[in-house]
Each structure stands twice: as C-alpha cells, then as structure tokens.
A and B are shown apart, each in its own frame.
Chain A
Amino acid sequence: NAGVTQTPKFRVLKTGQSMTLLCAQDMNHEYMYWYRQDPGMGLRLIHYSVGEGTTAKGEVPDGYNVSRLKKQNFLLGLESAAPSQTSVYFCASSLLAVNIHEQFFGPGTRLTVL
C-alpha cells in the first residue's frame, strides 16, 4: 500500500516551459487536492476534485490546470511556467471530505522555475 505518490520529486523549468505533475493514490479515495507551499508559508489550495471527472478551483488556481480522468490519479499542469510558481507542490487525498478533513499527503514535488 503506497498511499499517495507524486512524480517527479524535483524539477527545474525555464520560464515559459510546460509540465505536468502526477499524483496517484491507491486508497480508493474520492477526494484529491493539489497544494503549494512557499518558504515560511502554509499550504494554499490550488485545485481539488471531489470524484473522477470533476475538478474545482481552490484559493490560488491561476496559472494551473488539473484533470481527474481516473479516480486514482490527479494531474496538475503548468502551461507556461513563471518564476512565481517556484514552490513545493503537495498532493493529498481523502476518503470523504464534505466536512471532515483527514487528508493523506504525498512527499511533495520541488519545482524551480528559472
């Protein structure tokens, strides 16, 4: 049981390049989330999904797109990377999340945009 995994662990991009971060969970969770965490700051929600085929915007969605084609996977895309998107990205999942927020987090992806 791997829990929540993220690919890649590290990535360096040049401004304007695109990339996709992959999150996978093997716990059959309905809800999945993408967060970013900047130095000295807490976690901010980018996008989330309440089930396969659904996505919704979080607190800081601009510059990102997401897709949830399969229940176990949640992809985060950067179409044209900017230095302001340098951050650590965390994916999380939860079984039910209407009001109860026990989320399981992945190990993170450290992204640097030059």
Chain B
Amino acid sequence: LAKTTQPISMDSYEGQEVNITCSHNNIATNDYITWYQQFPSQGPRFIIQGYKTKVTNEVASLFIPADRKSSTLSLPRVSLSDTAVYYCLVGVPTGGGNKLTFGTGTQLKVEL
C-alpha cells in the first residue's frame, strides 16, 4: 500500500500563512480527507474535513485538487499556540473495504 506522506517538519513565524501538504495517491474514491492537530501528551484534535475543491472553517482551509491525490491544509496567520504536529487521515482501499490511514505527521514550529 502506498504511504500517506507529509513533510517531517516546517518552521514559520507568527502572523504568516502556513500550508502543509499531504500526499495520498491511493485514496479511496468515496472517502473524505480529514486533518488533525496534536499537542504533546494529548490526543489528536479534529481541524477540518473535505471531499473535493475547497473547504473553510473558522480555523483553517483545506484545498483538494481534482485528482484528490493530495491535499493542503492552510493555516492563516499562525500564532505560537499553533505549534503542534499535524496529521492527515484518509481511507485507502483494500480488498475488504477502506482502511483508515494517518499520514506521517508534520511538526509545525511557530516562532516570534
């Protein structure tokens, strides 16, 4: 099975926009793409979810191209409190249905 991959780490400064991409070239055709945020010693927390094109909520935007083989989480004007690990989650088709697969995770560090 192809892995769901993300950049290992990204650095940014407060007030900048950050874009984190997840590559999922084996995604199930009928499955959504979900992104989570995880702080140290805590469980992941849901950020945003989408199926195609663009989705926006109060904390982030999610961009999904037509072929759905990747997705980009966009965090506008990050702050120090956005320092965390970000994971994408997709369903990957198997012989017995879709298998939920988390991406490899991206450590975002935001500095002053």
Q: Which residues in B have their C-beta under 8 angstroms from that of A59?
A: 99, 101
Contact A100 B30 (CB under 8 A): no
Tally chain A residues at the interface, Cβ within 8 Å.
Answer: 22
A59 CA / B3 CA spacing, docked (Å) = 13
Q: Which residues in B have their C-beta under 8 angstroms from that of A42?
A: 87, 102-105
Q: Is the interface of B mostly helix, strand, loop or mixed?
A: strand
Contact B41 A101 (CB under 8 A): no
Name B43's closest neighbour in chain A (CB-CB). A105
Instruction: Decide: A107 near B43, CB < 8 A? Known: A42-B103, A101-B49, A101-B100.
Output: yes
Contact A102 B46 (CB under 8 A): yes
Name A48's closest neighbour in chain B (CB-CB). B100
> Can you give 28 A-B contacts (C-beta < 8 A)?
A4-B43, A41-B104, A41-B105, A42-B87, A42-B102, A42-B103, A43-B102, A44-B102, A45-B99, A45-B100, A58-B99, A59-B101, A90-B43, A92-B43, A92-B44, A99-B31, A99-B32, A99-B91, A100-B32, A100-B49, A101-B32, A102-B46, A102-B49, A103-B36, A103-B89, A107-B41, A107-B43, A108-B42
| Interface bin, chain B | 20 to 34
Residues of A within 8 A of B (CB): 4, 33, 41-45, 48, 58-59, 90, 92, 99-108
